[in-house]
Amino acid sequence: MIQVTKPFLPPLQEYQQYVEQIWKRQWLTNMGPLSSELEMRLKDYLKLDHLLFVSNGTTALQIALKVLDVKGEVITTPFSFVATTSAVVWEGCTPVFVDIDKNSLNIDPTKIEAAITPNTTAILATHVYGNPCDIDRIDHISKKYGLKVIYDAAHAFGVQYKGKSIFEFGDVSICSLHATKLYHSVEGGLIVTTDPELLKKSALMRNFGISGFGTYGDLGINGKNSELHAAMGLVNLLHIESILEKRKELAAAYHKNLKGLHVVYPVWNANSAPNYSYFPLILESEEFLLKVVSELDKHQIFTRRYFYPSLANSLPYLPAKQFTYTDDISKRVLCLPLYHELTKEEIHLIARIILRVQNN
Ligand SMILES: *Cc1c(COP(=O)(O)O)cnc(C)c1O
C-alpha cells in the first residue's frame, strides 16, 4: 500500500532524549524551554528576526486576523485548504473570493482590485503548494487601498523569495507544522511578522491575553503549544536538509518517469525555488483523472484531489459561486504520493500505471 503522505518520523532515541529532559523538568507546556529553543532554532534556520510557535496553523491564522484587527470583507482564494476560509468566517469576517491564475494556481492579482469594496480590510492569500504568490502586485494593491496582507504559507516551509524567507512577506505570514506537512511538530503552527509590535501582541493573544499576574493586556485565546510538540519540532529540524533533498530527488524521479504524460505542472514563481511539499499534476480532464485515481486505488496507491472541490462552492455556510479557473483546475488536479520513505521503485510503478491508463 502506498499512502499519499506519511509523516516523517525521526529515530525514536532522538525523541526520547528530549522526553527524558521533559520528565526531569516536569515542565510540559506554557512557553517552556523547548518551545523557546525551537523558536530560536527556527529563527536561525529561516533567518528571521521574529516568530512564534503556536498550537496549529489554523489558530495562527485566527490570531493573524485578530492582531491586524481585520474586519468586514477579506479577499481570498477559493483554491486552498478549508482552514484559509473557515478562519475568516470564524473571526466574523466575510470571505470574498477571487479566481486563481491558471498557471501559478495562486490568487490572480489582476482580479483583486475589482473585488475591493469600502468594506474590504485585508487580503488573505495562500502560497499554493509552497509556490509564492505574485507578492509584488499584491503589495502594490494593498498599499494603494490601505489593506492588510496575510499569507497562508502553510505549504511554504523553507521557501525563499528573492533571497529572503517567504515568511517575511505580508503583514503576517503563517505556517502549519501539522504531521502531514513537509516539516512538522505533530501539531503546530508559526506566526511570522517583521513588526516587533505585532509580534508582541500576537504573543499576548497566544496566552489568553495575560500580561502578568492578574493583568490582561489584550483579548486572547489559547494558542500555546506543548514541550512534547516542541521536542518533535527540534528533532525533525535536525533532519530538514535530508527531508528537502529527498523530496527533490523524488520529484525529479516523477518528472523522469512521467515523460510522455499529457500533463501540466503549476508554473513556479521565477523569484523562488520549489520545496517539493506536494507533487501536483493538472491532468487533461476530470474523466481521465477519475480513471487514474481508480486504477491507482486498485493497486492500493492513494492520491489526493488537493484542492477539490472549490471552497467557493462547497461550504454550507457560504453562498456558492463559480469561478472559471478554480472550478476547472480543481477538477483536474491530483497530488501524487510524496513522502520521505517513498522509493524510486514505487515512483516507477505509480508512473507506469498512470501512463498505462493514458495509452490504453
Ligand atoms: C494545513 C493547512 C492549514 C491548517 O493548518 P493546521 O496546522 O492543520 O491547522 C491552513 N492552510 C493551508 C493551506 C494548509 O494546507
- What is the residue-wise DSSP string for 186-245? SS-EEEE-S-HHHHHHHHHHHBTTEEETTEE-S---B----HHHHHHHHHHHHTHHHHHH
pLDDT digits (tens, 9 = 90+) for 143-186: 999 999 999 999 999 999 999 999 999 999 999 999 999 999 99
Give the cell for residue 315: 461550504
SS3 of residue 59 by DSSP: helix
| Residue 229 Cβ contacting ligand 1 at under 6 Å | no
Query: What is the pLDDT, as a whole number, of residue 234?
Result: 98
Residue 43 lies in a domain: yes
Residue 4 lies in a domain: no
Specify whether 212 is located in the same domain as 181. Answer: yes
Query: What is the pLDDT, as a whole number, of residue 110?
Result: 98
| Domain CATH for 181 | 3.40.640.10
Specify whether 220 is located in the same domain as 188. Answer: yes
| Domain CATH for 325 | 3.90.1150.10
User: What's the full length of the chain, in residues?
Assistant: 360
Residue 5 lies in a domain: no
Integer Cα distance of 219 and 331 in angstroms: 41
Q: What is the DSSP letter of 110?
A: G
Across 277-303, average pLDDT: 98
Instruction: Grade residue 8 by pLDDT with cuts at 50, 70 and 90.
Output: very high
User: How do 263-264 and 52-54 pair as beta strands?
Assistant: unpaired
Domain boundary among 208, 237, 266: 237
| Residue 126 Cβ contacting ligand 1 at under 6 Å | yes
Ligand 1 centroid–CA 129 distance in Å is 11
Residue 203 has pLDDT above 90, yes or no: yes
Residue 197 has pLDDT above 90, yes or no: yes
Domain boundary among 212, 237, 262: 237
DSSP letters along 123-153, please? EEEE-GGGPPP-HHHHHHHHHHHT-EEEEE-
Instruction: Grade residue 358 by pLDDT with cuts at 50, 70 and 90.
Output: very high
Query: What is the pLDDT, as a whole number, of residue 20?
Result: 98
Domain boundary among 237, 261, 280: 237
Establish how many alpha carbons lie within 13 A of residue 314's alpha carbon, considering only the half-sphere containing its beta carbon. 17
Report which protein residue has its CA nearest ligand 1's atom 10.
83
Strands (E), 3-42: none
Helix (H) or strand (E) holding 291: helix 286-298
SS3 of residue 108 by DSSP: coil
Question: Dihedrals φ, ψ of 339, to 5°?
Answer: -160, 165
Specify whether 223 is located in the same domain as 264. Answer: no
Specify whether 102 is located in the same domain as 152. Answer: yes
Give the cell for residue 156: 511554504
Do residues 98 and 107 make contact, with C-beta atoms less than 8 angstroms apart? yes
Specify whether 257 is located in the same domain as 146. Answer: no
Across 99-103, average pLDDT: 98
pLDDT digits (tens, 9 = 90+) for 176-192: 999 999 999 999 999 99
Specify whether 204 is located in the same domain as 87. Answer: yes
Integer Cα distance of 281 and 338 in angstroms: 12
Specify whether 102 is located in the same domain as 160. Answer: yes
Across 309-315, average pLDDT: 97
Amino acid of residue 82: V
Ligand 1 centroid–CA 355 distance in Å is 32
| Residue 152 Cβ contacting ligand 1 at under 6 Å | yes
Residue 2 lies in a domain: no
Do residues 258 and 355 make contact, with C-beta atoms less than 8 angstroms apart? yes
Residue 329 has pLDDT above 90, yes or no: yes
Q: Which domain holds residue 53?
A: 12-237
Residue 334 has pLDDT above 90, yes or no: yes
Specify whether 127 is located in the same domain as 196. Answer: yes
Residue 344 has pLDDT above 90, yes or no: yes
Query: What is the pLDDT, as a whole number, of residue 287?
Result: 97
Ligand 1 centroid–CA 266 distance in Å is 20
SS3 of residue 338 by DSSP: coil
Residue 50 lies in a domain: yes
Residue 16 lies in a domain: yes
Residue 171 lies in a domain: yes
Residue 343 lies in a domain: yes
Ligand 1 centroid–CA 212 distance in Å is 31
Specify whether 181 is located in the same domain as 82. Answer: yes
Specify whether 303 is located in the same domain as 225. Answer: no
Ligand 1 atom at minimum distance from 181 CA = 1
Query: What is the pLDDT, as a whole number, of residue 259?
Result: 97
Ligand 1 centroid–CA 357 distance in Å is 32
Specify whether 289 is located in the same domain as 318. Answer: yes
| Residue 83 Cβ contacting ligand 1 at under 6 Å | yes
Total domains in the chain come to 2
Query: What is the pLDDT, as a whole number, of residue 360?
Result: 85
Ligand 1 centroid–CA 192 distance in Å is 15
Q: Which residues of 59-82 are buried (b: 16+ CB within 10 A; e: fewer)?
A: bbbbbbbbbbebeebbbbbbbbbe
The residue to mutate among 81, 106, 173, 181, having the most atoms of ligand 1 within 8 angstroms of its beta carbon, is: 81
Specify whether 216 is located in the same domain as 341. Answer: no
